[in-house]
Structure 1
Amino acid sequence: MSNSGWQEIATKKQAERDALLPSKWRLDMSKYQSRNNLLTVPIDCGILSDKQIDITSNYDAVDLIARMRDGTFSVEEVVTAFCARAAIAQQLTNCLTEIFFDEAIERARQLDHEKATNPDKPLPKLFGLPISLKDSFMVPGTDATIGFICFANDKSTKYSVLCEMLLEQGAVFYCKTAIPQTLMTADSDNNVFGRCLNPHNTSLTAGGSSGGEGALIAMRGSVVGIGTDIAGSIRIPAHCNGTYGFKPSARVVSLQGKRSPGRAGLVGVEPVAGPLATSARANALIMQVILEAELWKRDSMLNHIFWRGLTLPNRPLKIGVVEDDGQNTPTPPMRRMMRDVSQKLMNAGVELIPLKLTEVDKAMDLLWFSFSMDGMKVSPLSLCIVYDIHPSQDTVDYINQSGEPMVNSVRQTGLVALPAKSIHEILDFTVARIGTQEKYRDMWLSNGLDALIMPPAPFTAPKIDTWGGLAAYTALWNLMDYPAAIVPIGQVNPDDRVDEAAKYGAKDAKVYNRYSGPEQFADAPTTIQVVGMKQEDEYLALVVEKLDAILKSR
């Protein structure tokens, strides 16, 4: 394909997507070009009715399901409202890749009709709930480009297993959301659709790789979306956009039928799928529905893990507190956030245990090793083993096939320059990973932890294309295979001035000094990361709800 050929495909693909935005939901974009914070535009623009503003602004997923069940809202009203607000969010942030509003509204009508004609029939658990999907999930009749030109106009013919189950539980899909080229950067930018913007501050990154989900949920164009995570791809966008996010343990949530950008067969750190939402309890609900569905009966790669109906112990929670990863100093907004969170938890009677992370350098070396076993011909997301649908090709092939360039954020990670590994090195990696996991298990058990808290990054959402390969705060827990969640806390405030120097040397200082003060990072969210023990996903969900209630109380 010629160098101009890929641009023609991208232009056509974007035009086809934009044509699906109804004229009644179109903005006069000239009014908003000078605005950095876009969060209030859906309320102020005059497109949404008062009822649509109420539906999309004032309820989480749990509330909406209850109100559709009792007839306060029809499914059609709810789905139409979120389609309209997603259309507004798309025009402002470029957060959508695929749009299927008409199909969603028709499904909503069908659900309403079934409820009206069979009033005694039990309703499914997610009755009528609009759910957005990361671009990589399969929906028949839509593309799953995963940021590659070569996958444009390659329509899916069936649902991913997870999506199929969510539909059976009453969910309504209405759009898919933006991702980065390769799915392996923290800036959701690709040559097919362009860059997704952060609605809190458009000069900052929306995160990746589930960046479109983060931006859409922050704009309240969705209350629940499904993302994926192998180094922070749920938690980084949740952090950047101030939403809740939940990264499960590996092999808990099905990835079967999801498009991935490389070959099958490699072993190592595995990706996971999980929810982003507007509340902690919404994420818990999605995890409960997934585990109760026993997807291991459809996907042989999954562990047989069940939702057990746990409750929290009748004692103060024991929470480890990690101030930083020992490599990068948190910037002033994140340090203040940690102090405020710790004080509030102590005031509520939570037992806090200061912790220092061990062998973080070694852990990150292992993680990068896992991501480059074949010399980065394969993206790490090919580690989903049986899920890859193009086993004869790899990431570089996909880029070269169309003649498209590598985007800046992919180039900056440096992954493509890493050498391939021998079978002996891979075996050594496995042994070393187990040894590191055992040390973290011992740390956990010796302190009797219910969970630990730490920042999800040393900074708030940074400037576009400046995150680079720095992901130790999140990626460590992928290596350990511990579930982890994001809870939004607040935002940068005028008092967050630079008052200390970086603690860990020149590399740390280079990152730390990017924060020049609160003015250029205005409205950037601050969030906390809550980590649980391997395969204790349900217990972590309970702890997160408890901590969130404490942190949100007056």
Structure 2
Amino acid sequence: MAGDKTYVDISRAKCEQRERLIRDEWKISPKLKLGHNVLEVPKICGILTEREIAITGDNDAVDIIEKIRSQAFTAEEVTLAFCKRAAIAQQLTNCLTEICFEDAIERARQLDQDRVANPSAPWKPLHGLPISLKDSFNVPGLDSTIGMTYFANKPAEEYSALPRLLLDLGAVLYCKTNVPQTMMTADSDNNVWGRTLNPSNLKLTAGGSSGGEGSLVAMRGSVLGIGTDIAGSIRIPAICNGIYSARPSSGIVPFAGQQSPEVPGMPGIEVVAGPMATSSRACSYFMKTIMTAQAWRYDSSCLHLRWTGEQSKRKPRIGVVLDDGLYTPFPPVRRAIREAAQKLRSAGIDIVELRLPHVAEALGITFGMFALDGCKFVQNLINEGNEPQVESVKRVNLASIPASSLADYMRLNDRRHQLQDIYHKFWIENQLDAIMLPPAPQTATRFDEWGPVSYTALWNFLDYPAIIIPTGRVRESDVADGEDSALYGEADLNNYKLYDSPETYQDAPLTVQIVGMRQEDEALAGVVEFVDNILNRS
């Protein structure tokens, strides 16, 4: 608590500051009637010009870069369009935290002027592309509250490694996006900024912890944003919002210099940064750009891996996993994975159905590694901020999590290595190029109800890259079936019962997850491009 200010006072001041940074002419009329799905509001609210609607709505990140280079667009008009659309998204879904629209527009204007002055200079790979950032990335002059009062009004003095690299590559940074209190739940709700909503259905969660980013990209207030992932925090918002995202292998995308709820030096599962976008090729382009840019110059923990540009000419062999053996997918999720598998078979892809080994044990080790200190560090941050826990954090029950000894950690780490070896052999013996499975047993859920993370966290445990591909939405025909369909015990049944009707989950996106081997991120990108073309363009 700063002086005599309560967390409510701090929140009010931060939110009022954010509101003042949105131009009056970008404010949505209170007379505009909104339904449960607000994805089309940017087109009809009268704030964007037709050209701005086309810039933001009809182009992915790669298109925008190419059109700036061909002088079909200027960097300034692109940035202005995305600032306006992000402002609209904020008013509808509460997805933003820190706003730097005016600085972004000025940077884009300067980029245009530099091109006029130096027309023969080499193009930077991200020249003029607006990129949004999860709140945990540090940008000088902006807070990185990560949803906690303790960090409010303590602006960063230096860039995190990745934003610094993005700027050097020509990008324009224009806003940061909301997260859960502690960044340890899948509901982006906190006492500083409030709750981010899902634009597909305002009564459903936007996911977390990169939930603001997911909502913003779904609204096309951004076509390329950056999230972070330790158990699914890039992929869960992609599931909830129906966008593309990639959880890279560790050590590829710079991560250093972020605000964190973890005690410094905590070992265990590696946190990674990765792209959230409106297309699979945008995710691929981001990874190619970062791997070509010698990211290790910005973050000493980065590997010296290079993007080779080599493409396999044969059709991939893909393992299909219908469920993880712990949680039964909701009826629409079951439909989505079976339909995707059938499309791949019909396209002549070699498909083999698989059951994943040792999932429960891997998850137990994962959770043990998340809380080696018994979550004491993050509890202290909450207490020092004099704020209550939001509902999703209460349900985690941080105080009940036991700390581990050094001997405990060594046992966990030893067994992790053994299971990584088992999965390595599993992959080789099945001659796999990729695995396709549901990214979660559920779609976006109602607020504070997201439970299992086993479908995503397993790949963090193994450090395998994983990419989300949207495939459709819940249909009226996706009726709730009997409780007998829940196959794996009480926890599974409790989660399965959340799906009570397609009406509750109206317009909730459906997705699949494609997984590759550790540090085979480029090969996975090639498989995903192939699969995406079959699932969404055939």
Provide TM-score, normalisation by structure 2: 0.98
Q: Which amino acid aligns with 1:395?
A: V
SS in structure 2 at match of 1:31: coil
1:116 to partner: Cα distance: 1.2
1:415 to partner: Cα distance: 4.0
Measure the CA separation in 2 of the matches of 1:414 and 1:319: 39
1:553 to 2:533 alignment: no
Q: Which amino acid aligns with 1:529?
A: Q
Match of 1:90 in 2: 90
- Identify which of 421, 431, 437 aligns with 2:404: 421
C-alpha offsets along residues 4-53 of structure 1, whole Å, 9 cap, x if unaligned? Answer: 61110110010001110100100123534x52101000001111000000
1:240 to 2:223 alignment: no
Measure the CA separation in 2 of the matches of 1:160 and 1:300: 13
Q: Which amino acid aligns with 2:512?
A: I
C-alpha offsets along residues 487-537 of structure 1, whole Å, 9 cap, x if unaligned? Answer: 000000111012352111222111101101211100000000000001111
C-alpha offsets along residues 62-83 of structure 1, whole Å, 9 cap, x if unaligned? Answer: 0000000011011111000000
Match of 1:534 in 2: 518
C-alpha offsets along residues 395-438 of structure 1, whole Å, 9 cap, x if unaligned? Answer: 12211112101111111123441111111111111110011111
Measure the CA separation in 2 of the matches of 1:420 and 1:199: 38
Match of 1:445 in 2: 428
Contact between 2:32 and 2:45, CA under 8 Å: does it hold in 1?
Answer: no
Match of 2:322 in 1: 323
Q: Which amino acid aligns with 1:429?
A: L
- Provide the identity percentage: 51
1:266 to partner: Cα distance: 2.1
Measure the CA separation in 2 of the matches of 1:72 and 1:294: 30
Measure the CA separation in 1 of the matches of 2:315 and 2:308: 22
1:27 to 2:32 alignment: no
Match of 1:385 in 2: none
Q: Which amino acid aligns with 2:352?
A: I
Match of 1:116 in 2: 116
1:287 to 2:287 alignment: yes
1:232 to partner: Cα distance: 0.1
Number of aligned pairs?
Answer: 535
Measure the CA separation in 1 of the matches of 2:103 and 2:300: 31
Match of 1:499 in 2: 481
Match of 1:191 in 2: 191
Match of 1:411 in 2: 394
Match of 1:332 in 2: 331
1:282 to partner: Cα distance: 0.3
C-alpha offsets along residues 132-184 of structure 1, whole Å, 9 cap, x if unaligned? Answer: 00001011111111111111111111211111111111100000000001111
Match of 1:380 in 2: none
1:54-93 matched pairs, under 5 angstroms: 54-93=54-93
Q: Which amino acid aligns with 1:44?
A: I
| RMSD of Structure 2 on Structure 1 (CA) | 1.2
- State which drifts further: 243-252 or 408-417: 408-417
Q: Which amino acid aligns with 1:134?
A: K
Measure the CA separation in 1 of the matches of 2:405 and 2:443: 38
Write out the 4+ residue segments of structure 1 that deviate beyond 4 Å after TM superposition. Answer: none
Measure the CA separation in 2 of the matches of 1:325 and 1:414: 25
SS in structure 2 at match of 1:420: coil
Structure 2 unaligned blocks of 5 or more = none
SS in structure 2 at match of 1:400: helix
SS in structure 1 at match of 2:311: coil
- State which drifts further: 494-503 or 420-429: 494-503
1:363-442 matched pairs, under 5 angstroms: 363-377=362-376, 394-442=377-425
Match of 2:449 in 1: 466
Contact between 1:376 and 1:417, CA under 8 Å: does it hold in 2?
Answer: no
1:3 to partner: Cα distance: 9.2
Measure the CA separation in 1 of the matches of 2:303 and 2:113: 37
Provide TM-score, normalisation by structure 1: 0.95
1:475 to 2:457 alignment: yes
Measure the CA separation in 2 of the matches of 1:96 and 1:16: 12
- 1:511–1:3 Cα change, 3 Å: farther
Contact between 2:244 and 2:278, CA under 8 Å: does it hold in 1?
Answer: yes
Measure the CA separation in 2 of the matches of 1:23 and 1:64: 27
1:118-267 matched pairs, under 5 angstroms: 118-267=118-267
Measure the CA separation in 2 of the matches of 1:159 and 1:140: 6
Q: Which amino acid aligns with 1:332?
A: P
SS in structure 1 at match of 2:6: helix
C-alpha offsets along residues 217-241 of structure 1, whole Å, 9 cap, x if unaligned? Answer: 0000000000000000000000100
1:339 to partner: Cα distance: 1.3
Match of 2:274 in 1: 274
Q: Which amino acid aligns with 2:68?
A: M
1:277 to partner: Cα distance: 0.3
Match of 1:387 in 2: none
Contact between 1:3 and 1:403, CA under 8 Å: does it hold in 2?
Answer: no
1:252 to partner: Cα distance: 1.4
